[in-house]
Structure 1
Amino acid sequence: MKSIIKIMDDQDKTKEQLIDKVRKLQQRIAELERLEAGSRKAEESLQKSEEKFRSLVDSTDDSIYLVDRHYRYLYMNKKHLSRLGLIERQVLGREYSSFHSPEETNEFMKKINEVFKAGKSSMYEYNSRRDNRYFLQTFSPVKEPDGNITAVTIVSKDITERKKTSEVILQSIQDWEDTFNSITDMITIHDRDFNIIRANKAAEKMLGLPFLLPGTKCYKYYHGKDDPMEGCPSCDCIKTGMPVSFEMFEPYLNMYLEIQSIPRFDSNKKLAGLLHVVRDISERKKMEEILRAMSVTDELTGLLNRRGFFSLAQKQLKAAERNKRYLSVIYADLDGLKEINDTLGHKEGDAALTEFADLLRDTFRESDIIARLGGDEFAVVVEVAEPDSELVIKRRLEDRLSAVNIRKDRRYLLLISMGIVRFDPDNPCSIDELLSQSDKLMYANKKGK
């Protein structure tokens, strides 16, 4: 009986164990089903992410492709497929050399090998021989979790338009430099601290500028000074921001200069310095002086002409009035000039005029104003101090004439009539009035002979 009961107990235990195993198996099955569902969701999520990635990669304007260590295409986006004029199944698994020239293939292989060797990204500018477009290529390693590189991703950004724009800008800069340096005027660009920060070739040559470094002060090279020159209009331009134009003689350069100073402003409209344009006008000034001298000089005698006489005499009278000084005005007429011209010829008459002009130069000082007013008429303005100065002047002039006329080889005598009047600063009058008075005295002198 006991054995029967024992057998029945063992059967119950076995049944319970079996039920427990079935329950655990059911739990395991349920767990596996949950894992499988999670895996499906993960796969679906991964598939969606991959689709999004592909969509993103295919929608970009950049060419993107993937190659392995043997330079075989593992992936290529639509943009690059379009550039090659191919479809995906024609490309995947094939080597780069299948679609490119040997030269391009060698360049490409070097770049890929460098990424596998260095293990980091690199960038290159690339000009495609296929369509002569420019690309900025980024080569990036694709690494496994253990750090092993399995492939290289290449992203090519088309920079053709940017490259063309850059070339246009560079050409414009070069054109500007060529123009800047071809200008014969001196052009320097200054900052607010009077430093020359740029100079064209003409300025470098004329000013003897060194390689431009901070501290190349404009006043040192233009004026030979250690400090800004007092009253310099260009210095004022930097202070006021107003353009100036002026002429000056610069002793340091021994040049007459025409200078234009134009203020420079930064992007915030703040004064940044100036543009200094300088022209050497020394030759022009010399020519102006020649023309000025010609306009006031008698061509035959080299004395002042009527215009020059009146211009200087009027200034002399004003100075004498201001400084309370006396002047004598002499009006002289060369007698017998018509007879010399008629009997000996105009050439001899011109010689007589020139001889008398030289005699006047020898008689009076360089500071005195001596002129041929026209024909046979001469005038002199002399500063005097003594009451009998006019008498002394008359006697000195007559003595010089006598010394000339006693020469034995003379064909004619130099004879003059003259009138002398004094300018009184306390009772001033014009040069016209003084000439009129001396002219009357001269004619009286002529009639009295």
Structure 2
Amino acid sequence: MNKILVVDNNPVIRKMLSSALEKEKYQVECAEDGLSAFDCLDRFVPDIIFLDLIMPNINGEQFCQMISGRKGLEHTKIVVISGVAVEAGGECEMKGVHASIAKGPQFVSHVIDIARKFTCDHFHHAGIYQVFGAENLFPREISKELLAANRHLKVVLNNMSEGIVELAVDHRIIFANPAAAQLAGMAQEKLLASDFAQFFSGNDQIRVIDLLKQNKIMAQQITDNDPVMFNHQQVAINFLPVHDRENSTVVVIIKDISKTKIAEERLRETKEYLHSIFNSVQAGIIVIDVETNIIIDANLRALELYGIAKPDMLTHDCRDLLCPRPEERSCPVLQEGKTTHLTTQTVKKRNGQTMHILKTATVCMINNRQYIIESFLDITEQKKLENKLHSLSITDELTGLLNRRGFMMMAKKQLRIADRNPGKLFLLFADVDNLKWVNDTYGHDIGDMLLVKVAKLLASFRRSDIIARLGGDEFAVLLSDSSPTGGEEKISARFESLLYEENEKKDLGFPIEVSFGVVAYDNYKPCEIDELIVKADKLMYSSKKSKKI
């Protein structure tokens, strides 16, 4: 007995065809849609399938795709029965379909006739697709418009980047577009009738099943922020319930966000990497919005150097914090018109301490907005060292007075000042007598004590005087005197008085003897400091010589 499967969502048509075919002694099974028919094939292998074209839960075209090449159906004939066969025309001619019948007044007779022909194998030998029952039928405009709208919708769905699937009440897939098939990694026809939940695993599967249960009432979604894995890809999903008079289905929109998530992860890693570098460098870094002059970012080193918490520094006007002259509201970096601005600067920290910095300011454009990136190093200790080294280079280590280099440098400046201003300037040039004898007799420690005492003696003139140990036993003092007369004599008398007072103390066990000469600088006849020293040295030598007579 030949077996026939009738697939139609109209129960009246199913009843009419099954009754007519059973009278012809065919074994008949009926299914209300493509999904039911697909399940039926597991237990019933028909010789002929009479298939409606337009049905819910997998239509005729999808059903043909699903069973194409299925084992056991190699010799099964498929005949499409459609109420729009006349309007659809060639659309009924699909892979695996041998004929189509228009649902007209005589369509049952055509079904019986084709069943007989297939049974006798007459139709098979003809080998030509045919449409039966179209005579005396005319295309309906409404049907043509609906078919056109359906074709348009099909084009849209087939070209969407998101995967679109529709699920039956048992959560099996009854429609899938190409994007969904690509996400699932299988052909569209293989997706149909499969359980949607099978593409998830573990907690993701439990989550999807729970949402599908809730979806019977209202729409649900899995957002980009909390995606699930669909066939090893991160996806966001929208579940949209669809209800009509006969069926309730769920339309599922699947958005592949794997590339987005990978890009976000790479961006996050890059930001963390840059943030780590930003906060690890030993230079302070501050970012300023040029338009508003507001500090918008600062690294840990900058906060540490300024002694400011980040919330206090951000949104701060840079001119109040970073500029050496905050009263000048214009930006010195921008005024120069250079891309990079290098300078040393002295700034006040939050605790009031002074900090010397070496600052590089770079002007740059980011997203069409101008910023200044300031990086700076704390060179306070370096400055102290420089000052110390400078001091050592011009200072006599034993006495703490200026050395020859320091004296010459300072004295030259003082002479230039004297050239432009009224007042008298004098040079006292002194030589410690008998230093060699003291060293030989009492030792160099006592000799050093002698030199220190002479240094203190000279330093007691005035703090404003320039006092130096020129080397060995030679000292010089450059001093000013505002009195109109007697400058050299007064200075000589003052020094002799100080020397007498020191000798009265008798600290060393021998008298301190110093030969000296005092000369005045004539700003009407300017000369160099070397010439002045030569003049004073001659007077000192005369003083020393007179002591030996």
Same fold by TM (over 0.5)? yes
2:277 counterpart (175, 179, 200)? 179
CA distance in 2, matches of 1:151, 1:369: 102
Offset of residue 48 of structure 1: 7.3
- Spell out, residue by residue over 1:15-47, the C-alpha distance to the aligned partner (whole angstroms, 9 max, x if none): xxxxxxxxxxxxxx9xx98993215x8767766
AA matched with 1:258: L
CA distance in 2, matches of 1:197, 1:85: 47
Correspondence for 2:533: 435
CA distance in 1, matches of 2:371, 2:176: 55
Correspondence for 1:261: 361
AA matched with 1:385: S
1:38 counterpart (118, 139, 144)? 139
CA distance in 2, matches of 1:68, 1:345: 114
- Identify the range of structure 1 (315-324 vs 63-72) with the bigger mean alpha-carbon deviation: 63-72
- Spell out, residue by residue over 1:82-141, the C-alpha distance to the aligned partner (whole angstroms, 9 max, x if none): 55455566553343344543533222123334443224777555342743x222333334
Correspondence for 1:399: 497
| 1:204 paired to 2:303 | yes
- Conserved 8 A contact 2:184-2:230: no
AA matched with 1:237: V
Change (3 A) 1:194 1:329: same
2:471 counterpart (363, 366, 374)? 374
Correspondence for 2:344: 247
Offset of residue 427 of structure 1: 1.5
Offset of residue 428 of structure 1: 1.2
Corresponding residue SS for 1:37 = coil
Correspondence for 1:128: 229
AA matched with 2:319: Y
Offset of residue 300 of structure 1: 0.9
- The aligned length equals 408
AA matched with 1:69: V
Q: Identity, % of aligned pairs?
A: 30
AA matched with 1:338: K
- Conserved 8 A contact 1:196-1:212: no
CA distance in 2, matches of 1:112, 1:241: 64
CA distance in 2, matches of 1:213, 1:36: 84
AA matched with 2:229: S
CA distance in 1, matches of 2:355, 2:524: 44
CA distance in 2, matches of 1:217, 1:118: 52
| 1:112 paired to 2:212 | yes
Change (3 A) 1:435 1:87: closer
CA distance in 2, matches of 1:409, 1:97: 106
| 1:302 paired to 2:403 | no
CA distance in 2, matches of 1:277, 1:176: 15
CA distance in 1, matches of 2:181, 2:328: 72
1:349 counterpart (439, 447, 457)? 447
| 1:390 paired to 2:492 | no
- Conserved 8 A contact 2:167-2:250: yes
AA matched with 1:202: R
Offset of residue 436 of structure 1: 1.0
Which ranges in structure 2 are unaligned for 5 or more consecutive residues? 1-104, 106-132
Change (3 A) 1:123 1:369: closer
Offset of residue 414 of structure 1: 1.4
- Residues 19-418 of structure 1: matches in 2 within 5 Å? 36-39=137-140, 57=157, 62-81=162-181, 84=184, 86=186, 91-119=191-219, 123-124=223-224, 126-128=227-229, 130-131=231-232, 133-144=233-244, 150-191=248-289, 192-205=291-304, 206-209=306-309, 211=311, 216-222=316-322, 229-231=326-328, 235-238=331-334, 241-242=337-338, 243-251=340-348, 253-268=353-368, 272-362=370-460, 364-386=461-483, 387-408=485-506, 410-418=508-516
AA matched with 2:387: E
Change (3 A) 1:123 1:215: closer
CA distance in 2, matches of 1:129, 1:392: 105
AA matched with 1:236: P
Offset of residue 365 of structure 1: 0.8
Q: Cα RMSD (Å) of the superposition?
A: 3.4
Change (3 A) 1:217 1:375: same
Change (3 A) 1:330 1:43: same
CA distance in 1, matches of 2:235, 2:264: 14
Offset of residue 67 of structure 1: 0.9
Offset of residue 52 of structure 1: 6.9
Corresponding residue SS for 1:176 = helix
CA distance in 1, matches of 2:343, 2:272: 31
AA matched with 1:380: V
CA distance in 2, matches of 1:219, 1:231: 8
Change (3 A) 1:120 1:210: closer
Corresponding residue SS for 1:189 = strand
- Spell out, residue by residue over 1:379-418, the C-alpha distance to the aligned partner (whole angstroms, 9 max, x if none): 1100012221211211121122222224456333211111
Corresponding residue SS for 2:267 = helix
Correspondence for 1:420: 518
AA matched with 2:470: L
Which ranges in structure 1 are unaligned for 5 or more consecutive residues? 1-28
Offset of residue 278 of structure 1: 3.4
CA distance in 1, matches of 2:238, 2:312: 39
TM-score for the superposition, normalised by structure 2:
0.66
- Conserved 8 A contact 1:115-1:122: no
Higher helix share: 1
Offset of residue 433 of structure 1: 0.7
Q: Greater RCO between the two (CA within 8 Å, min separation 6)?
A: 1
Change (3 A) 1:443 1:231: farther
Corresponding residue SS for 1:117 = coil
Offset of residue 153 of structure 1: 2.2
AA matched with 1:37: F
Offset of residue 80 of structure 1: 4.1
Change (3 A) 1:52 1:358: same
Change (3 A) 1:42 1:33: farther
AA matched with 2:542: A
Correspondence for 1:9: none
- Conserved 8 A contact 1:73-1:96: yes
